[in-house]
Amino acid sequence: EDQVTQSPEALRLQEGESSSLNCSYTVSGLRGLFWYRQDPGKGPEFLFTLYSAGEEKEKERLKATLTKKESFLHITAPKPEDSATYLCAVQARYGGATNKLIFGTGTLLAVQP
């Protein structure tokens, strides 16, 4: 069964304290892995797409990496405005799930000044 697991569930950092969020996945052929950011009461905001192991994408203080079993979202020197829930999702290449995303349960990040 296709599955996405994110850890930790919640993470509290001091401003400037770098860390990583983890997304582990099992899927019948990976079409793509996606990271989203969601602020409270708002819709998710697309951040990155990763297609193959070894791929990396960067945007400001965020860097996403991908292996054959997991993805990491590295946050360098975070600021309070980076506080949000970060969602990971995968799209399968085969079977009936090729046109939909399987979301993880998210990591709630709080960055304190």
Partner 1 sequence: DTEVTQTPKHLVMGMTNKKSLKCEQHMGHRAMYWYKQKAKKPPELMFVYSYEKLSINESVPSRFSPECPNSSLLNLHLHALQPEDSALYLCASSPGTSTAGELFFGEGSRLTVL
Positions that interact with partner 1 (CB under 8 A): 31-34, 41-46, 49, 87, 89-91, 98-101, 103-106
13 and 112 in contact (C-beta within 8 Å)? yes
Return d(Cα 98, Cα 112) in angstroms, integer. 39
Q: What is the smallest separation between the CB atom of 33 and partner 1, expressed in angstroms?
A: 8
How many CA atoms within 13 Å lie on the side-chain side of 83?
A: 12
Kindly tell me which of 28 and 98 has the beta carbon lying closer to partner 1.
98
Q: What is the smallest separation between the CB atom of 18 and partner 1, expressed in angstroms?
A: 25
Kindly tell me which of 31 and 63 has the beta carbon lying closer to partner 1.
31
Q: What is the smallest separation between the CB atom of 72 and partner 1, expressed in angstroms?
A: 18
Could you tell me which residues come within 8 angstroms of residue 1 by beta carbon, excluding any fewer than 6 positions away?
26
Grouping H, G, I as helix, E, B as strand and the rest as coil, residue 17 is coil
Kindly tell me which of 43 and 113 has the beta carbon lying closer to partner 1.
43
